[in-house]
């Protein structure tokens, strides 16, 4: 009986805890989609190159498109120091 109680307690604790989720803004893409809601979960998808592309992907979802505050555009040519 004690084992059953401990097992039920452990299962209850596991069921109540949610996995930790870190918000990640991918600096390679200028636009992010913030998806929210109980059914789809909350997440930040930074995989879009334009707001139009993001809005097309957000159709039918509880989501908002926004500019990535951590976007770091790549330069056209790599920097090479002079000799």
**Edge-to-edge strand order for the sheet containing 43-48?**
43-48, 31-35, 63-67
pLDDT tens digits, residue range 44-78? 999 999 999 999 999 999 999 999 999 998 876 66
Residues 50 and 71 sit within 8 Å (Cβ to Cβ): no
Q: Express as a percent the part of the chain with pLDDT over 70.
A: 69
pLDDT for the residue 67: 96
Q: Is the dihedral of CA 42, 43, 44, 47 positive or negative?
A: negative
pLDDT for the residue 79: 65
pTM over 0.75: no
Q: What whole-number distance in Å separates Cα of residue 58 and Cα of residue 51? A: 10
Residue matched to tokens 């908002």: 64
């Amino acid at each position: 009986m004690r084992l059953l109680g401990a097992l039920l307690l452990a299962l209850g604790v596991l069921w109540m805890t949610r996995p930790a989720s870190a918000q990640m803004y991918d600096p390679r893409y200028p636009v992010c989609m913030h998806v929210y809601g109980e059914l789809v979960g909350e997440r930040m998808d930074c995989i879009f190159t334009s707001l139009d592309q993001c809005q097309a992907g957000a159709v039918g979802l509880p989501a908002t498109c926004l500019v990535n505050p951590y976007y770091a555009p790549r330069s056209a040519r790599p920097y090479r120091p002079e000799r």
